[in-house]
Chain A
């Protein structure tokens, strides 16, 4: 069976490069699955859970933050600003992150800092939600 050449890359390094049966990417307009032969697509990625399927079940799951996905018939590349294995992150860590983001927002001095704080907070919230949802399904 044909496989998708999947790569998950962060600015600092390549996190994962495998041949997968299917990849589910959290696109900004909704999740989409990538199978071999997918139509070429470039999409932005929202903070959420990315799943790599091998033989019918999700073999690896990652929390990704912002970025892009490029899909061609044979390959799927996800550029994530941040990515971490779902199993490596606890709910507490994300709750902590949300609290930090809230504090940053409260302390923001100027407009630029406020915008950054708001963005950080919404990312943290989205991540928590995505994680809770992924865990409830597992």
Chain B
């Protein structure tokens, strides 16, 4: 058996080596054109897939609709990769200029997310595998102020100061947010570069924060992500497609230009992995109130079991400690919840450290003041995890509603 399997492996590797030697150059060069044609053919009609072998999995050509009542990239099952970029508008950009920028960026986003090259795309071959690419736009206070006669949400602006914050202005605020996400990092890089090239005459890059989750296909869709502490992170989250999600996330005020949009908070949270290393497994679970393997509350056995905050251990202490993260993060008022869509970051270490990692805590909520701030205040007052977490960046944007074909993102603010 062992011999036969070795022989098979050897035959396979010989085949693939020969493939590389003889066909590699041709295959590499022809692949983009072949894929492009394939995507076109499948779009154009419902004819059965051609009999030629396909190298790329179906996931690569998966498309998330760009147009709609709400922008994509929020209720979308999180992609494996996401980069958040904030732009600073140039001094001379007025309301008309902002509208021109958004018309261009909207057209780029609509084409790229459909797996087509943008207009004037100098690398069109990089656009053909969208892999669920989404582009989501947000506006900071300066954009809202371009149209003073249309009131913007009162919460739009920096969050109140929290005692745990050690904010670095290099990761804070901004005028325009781009959230670009895809299961394919090359597609993402191309889409983001296309958008930034088209924004260049209007704005400069303020900050750029790439994040990642597990690769698409590594886990079942819908699996709660793990952060770099190893914790299952985001168990209690409103479920897209439910009334609960809609009520918590979308701005319902019909008189507001932001109706159908949402509020976005990005907190860059440094995670001190080197200090976390010194904490044993039980301490790690106590700090959060959940087990590390399944993410179940310490009072339960499965991830989505409801925690029993009243349960006491043999000596009379709460099983889920007073300082535990899940206790502090839960407020009595169920309308004070948020929708989390976070990503990990892992950047080159500096000094003598070996890690420079953390979480891009991205949350969507209709009212930042009513929903996000009280939760953060509760965590600020007491949360054992604060021993290992340091918020270093903070930014708030209003996410405009989606648009229809022919329209552009931001038209409810910038248009007539």
Bind each other: no
